[in-house]
Amino acid sequence: MTQPREVWVFIEQDGGNVAPVSLELLGKARELADQLDGKVCGLLLGDGVADRADMVIHHGADEVLLAQAPELGVYRTLPYARVAVDLVKGRQPYIFLLGATPVGRDLAPRIASACWAGLTADCTSLQIGDFEFRDEVYKDLLYQIRPAFGGNIIATIVNPETRPQMATVREGVMKMEQPDEARRGVITQVAPQFDPADLVVEVLEREMRLPSCDLKGASVVVAGGMGVGSKEGFDLIAGLAHVLGGEVGASRAAVDAGFIEKEHQVGQTGVTVRPRLYVACGISGAVQHCAGMDQAGTIVAINSDPSAPIFQLAHYRIVGDLHEVIPQLISAYRGTAK
């Protein structure tokens, strides 16, 4: 009997806190594995993280490969790569997904190069499909889909020959499915083995800076672009965000102009958001910006240019100067909220 094809997800955690992107990827992995008649495995590495295994199963895994050791307590490239590469070589997964976080971006290429596997960074969509090349048909490949050439094309990348087919995906791109607490799976303990050379880097001290905004989790985002005109102009954006109980987002152009910090940037090279309501103020609607917000429930756009591309995406369109429109919205909202 042939073994089911395995779709692996690297479960990123820090101090036992599992990164949301790993849970998002488990939902996607479940969908892909179901199409392949395969199984989902979560690769959980750390020290004292066994109690996280159930969470991995509830989010869609059939099996958790659990490697625990003091050497894996804090993420370091070499020991993590050693364990992951040994497991990949032993089990030959079909697909391996990682979050496009600083850790995932560090670890994924290490694993890919050690295993001679193909890797696509920052995918925005993953699908299963066939691929024909020189009269040969490759069945059930992973389509690794992402914007390329500055967002001007959407490329579909395949690895016909090498396994695993590896991809990283940024946080917020895939939808996190609700956990199913009744779901049962297998937890396989793995004994990690290290080479002394894997442990040459020591972590002496860690300094953590908490983000000042939670764009990813926000149910309302009010975002400003170049049309806001200045750093001070963002007080207006913050004012509207405040009355709506939301977070402030921004276009990259506004960030580059120094109107607001980078952590507020929405889009292909910023944060991907899925709020209930997204208000785009003075944002033209470039494809790279829209890639980060087009999944919002309702999109309201305020722009002085009636032909701005953002209006093609928006559910509600307000043509006008945002410096006039936003104060009216704020006072109207305050009026109805009383």
Judged by DSSP in three states, 75 sits in coil
Select from 129, 187, 196 the least CA-distant residue to 160.
129
Residue 262: count other Cβ atoms within 10 Å of its Cβ.
12
**Residues 236-255: x where in contact with ligand FAD by CB under 6 A, - otherwise, as a string:** ---------------xxxx-
Q: Which listed range, 7-15, 45-53, 207-215, 219-227, lies at the site for ligand FAD (CB under 6 A)?
A: 219-227
Q: Nearer to ligand FAD by C-beta: 189 or 230?
A: 230
Judged by DSSP in three states, 304 sits in coil
- Residue choice 141, 299, 322, 329 for contact with ligand FAD (CB under 6 A): 322
317 contributes a contact to ligand FAD by CB under 6 A: no
Asked if residue 283 lies in contact with residue 225, where contact means CB atoms within 8 angstroms, the answer is yes
314 contributes a contact to ligand FAD by CB under 6 A: no
304 contributes a contact to ligand FAD by CB under 6 A: yes
Residue 154: count other Cβ atoms within 10 Å of its Cβ.
14
295 contributes a contact to ligand FAD by CB under 6 A: no
Judged by DSSP in three states, 108 sits in helix
Q: What are the distances in angstroms from CA 235 to CA 44, 111, 191, 218, 244? A: 43, 45, 54, 19, 14
Task: Give the chain's length.
Answer: 338
Amino acid at 109: P
- Residue choice 226, 238, 243, 313 for contact with ligand FAD (CB under 6 A): 226
Q: Which listed range, 98-106, 138-146, 201-209, 288-296, lies at the site for ligand FAD (CB under 6 A)?
A: 288-296
Q: Nearer to ligand FAD by C-beta: 85 or 257?
A: 257
CB of 157 to ligand FAD, least distance (A): 17
Q: In a 10 Å sphere around its CB, with 0-12 CB exposed, 13-18 middle and 19+ buried, how is residue 69 labelled?
A: middle
260 contributes a contact to ligand FAD by CB under 6 A: no
- Residue choice 308, 311, 314, 329 for contact with ligand FAD (CB under 6 A): 308
Q: In a 10 Å sphere around its CB, with 0-12 CB exposed, 13-18 middle and 19+ buried, how is residue 336 labelled?
A: exposed
The count of chain residues that interact with ligand FAD, using the rule CB under 6 A, is 30
Report how far residue 124's alpha carbon sits from residue 86's, in angstroms, rounded to the nearest whole number. 28
Q: Nearer to ligand FAD by C-beta: 235 or 321?
A: 321
**Residues 128-157: x where in contact with ligand FAD by CB under 6 A, - otherwise, as a string:** ----------------------xx------
Select from 59, 93, 88, 168 the least CA-distant residue to 124.
168
Which single residue is written with the structure tokens 């690769």?
43
CB of 308 to ligand FAD, least distance (A): 4
List all residues 6 or more positions away from 34 whose beta carbon is below 8 Å from its beta carbon: none
- Residue choice 22, 144, 159, 268 for contact with ligand FAD (CB under 6 A): 268
Say which DSSP state 266 is in: B
284 contributes a contact to ligand FAD by CB under 6 A: yes
233 contributes a contact to ligand FAD by CB under 6 A: no
- Residue choice 173, 265, 277, 299 for contact with ligand FAD (CB under 6 A): 265
CB of 329 to ligand FAD, least distance (A): 13
List all residues 6 or more positions away from 229 whose beta carbon is below 8 Å from its beta carbon: 282, 323
The footprint of ligand FAD (CB under 6 A) covers 150-151, 225-227, 251-254, 265-270, 282-284, 286, 288-289, 292, 302-305, 308, 321-323
